[in-house]
Amino acid sequence: ESLEHEVARREVERVSDELKMYVHAKLMQIKKLASDPILVKEVNNILEISADIHKKLKSEQSRLANTVDGAGEWRKLENLQLTDLVQRRLEFLQNPSDCDKAKQILCKLVVTECGYGCQLHHVTFCLIMAYATQRTLILKSEGWRYAPKGWESVFLPISKTCRFKSDMAASQWGPNSTMDNSQVIELPQVGKLSWRPHFLPPAIPEDIADHLTCIHGDPAAWWVGQFVTYVTRPNAMMQKFLNEGKEKLGFTNPIVGVQVRRTDKLISEAKFHSVDEYMHHVVEWYDIYEKKHPGVQRKVYIATDDPGVLHEAKKNYPNYTFVSDNEVSKSADRGSRYTDASLRGIILDVYLLSRCNYLVCTFSSNVCRAAYELMQSLQGDASECCKSLDHTYSFEDDHLHSFIAVEDHQSQREGEISFNAGDTIRLTDNQWDVYCQGTNVKTGKSGLFPSYKTVKKIERVKMITYSEVPD
Binding mask 303-322 toward ligand GDP (x if CB under 6 A, else -) reads: xxx-----------------
Using CB under 6 A, pick the residue from 6, 86, 105, 115 that binds ligand GDP.
Answer: 115
113-123 burial, b for 16+ CB within 10 Å, e for fewer?
ebbbbbbbbbb
- Of these, 203, 220, 279, 328, which contacts ligand GDP (CB under 6 A)? 328
Of 457, 451, 406, which is closest to residue 429 (Cα–Cα)? Answer: 451
Residue 277 CA to residue 273 CA, distance in Å, equals 6
In the complex, minimum distance from the CB of residue 397 to ligand GDP, in angstroms, rounded to a whole number:
8
169 to 90, 183, 186, 394: CA distances (angstroms): 24, 8, 9, 34
* Binding of ligand GDP by 366 (CB under 6 A): yes
Q: Work out the angle at residue 195's Cα, subtended by the Cα atoms of residues 193 and 197, and round it to the nearest 5 degrees.
A: 105
**Least Cβ distance, residue 394 to ligand GDP (angstroms):** 13
Cα 307–Cα 308–Cα 313 angle in degrees, nearest 5: 115
As measured in angstroms, the least distance from the Cβ of 385 to ligand GDP is: 18
User: For the chain, how big is the Rg over CA atoms in Å?
Assistant: 23
CB 126 within 8 A of CB 193: no
CB of 366 to ligand GDP, least distance (A): 3
Query: Closest approach of Cβ 391 to ligand GDP, in Å?
Result: 11
Kindly tell me which residue out of 114, 220, 313, 463 binds ligand GDP, with binding defined by CB under 6 A.
114
C-alpha 191: how far from chain center: 19
Residues 151/109, Cβ–Cβ less than 8 Å: yes
Q: Segment near ligand GDP (CB under 6 A), from 112-120, 171-179, 414-422, 436-444?
A: 112-120
Looking at the Cβ atoms of 28 and 266, the one nearer to ligand GDP is 266
367 binds ligand GDP (CB under 6 A): yes
- Scan residues 12-41 and list those touching ligand GDP (CB under 6 A): none
- Dihedral sign from CA coordinates of 335, 338, 341, 345: positive
Q: Which of residues 240-259 bind ligand GDP (CB under 6 A)?
A: 259
Judged by CB under 6 A, the residue of 79, 365, 383, 451 near ligand GDP is 365
d(CA 24, CA 16): 12
* Of residues 57, 54, 43, the one with CA closest to residue 21: 54
238-250 exposure pattern, b = at least 16 Cβ within 10 A, e = fewer? beebbeebbeebe
Binding part of the chain for ligand GDP, among 55-63, 97-105, 302-310, 380-388 by CB under 6 A, reads 302-310
In the bound complex, what is the minimum distance in angstroms from residue 263's beta carbon to ligand GDP? 7
Query: Is 118 a residue that touches ligand GDP (CB under 6 A)?
Result: yes
Using CB under 6 A as the binding rule, whether residue 265 contacts ligand GDP is answered as: yes
Residue with smaller CB distance to ligand GDP, 204 or 361: 361
Which single residue brings its beta carbon nearest to ligand GDP? 115
Site residues (vs ligand GDP, CB under 6 A): 114-118, 259, 261, 265, 303-305, 328-329, 332-334, 342, 345-346, 349, 365-367
